[in-house]
Amino acid sequence: MKNEKYKLDNIDLQILNVLQKNGEISNVQLAQKVKISPPSCLRRVKSLENKNIISGYSALVNPKMLGYNVTVFAYVGLESQAENDLQTFENYISKFPEVRECHMLIGEVDFLLKIVAKDWDDFQSFLTKNLTQAPKVSNVKTSLNIRSVKNLPGIPFETMI
């Protein structure tokens, strides 16, 4: 399987698949899983990092265990879709740590935001003091997440290997 920008062989794809599932795996364990030597594995991982195919590592944190009991998806429409207005909104919304994801869309809405809050009052405060006050926002519709049944990071390597 080839990447548009870089040639990735099956071993590279296997490395990415394993790291996507377990970013804290040791190099020795990773090398064993993909059946190559540890030095070769480390060189490949460093190369994938240098090419920005691997853009970082993080822990998956359970928000509810830390008191963030509300997840809301907000559908934001802007007054205009001029590039300057889109950029102004993106810069404004990037300042708020409650906004965990921001996606620009094509269709009826301009942006989809994933917002976390400790409780409903916390979210309402964010909504009225920050989101609806954002520059060029014409409307905001929200949906409260009841539960998440699937939340996988990255891409489906299973379809590539």
Looking at residue 1, what is its pLDDT? 41
Looking at residue 3, what is its pLDDT? 40
Q: Which two tokens stand for residue 105?
A: 């869309």
CATH architecture of 63-144: 2-Layer Sandwich (3.30)
Pick the closest to residue 80 from 112, 101, 110 (CA basis): 110
State phi, psi for 10 to the nearest 5 degrees: -60, -35
Pick the closest to residue 42 from 20, 1, 11 (CA basis): 11
Q: Where are the domains of the chain?
A: 10-59, 63-144
pTM, 2 dp:
0.84
Looking at residue 2, what is its pLDDT? 43
Pick the closest to residue 76 from 89, 91, 94 (CA basis): 89
Pick the closest to residue 127 from 91, 58, 151, 116 (CA basis): 116
Could you say which residues of the chain have pLDDT below 50? 1-3
CATH number listed for the domain at residues 10-59: 1.10.10.10
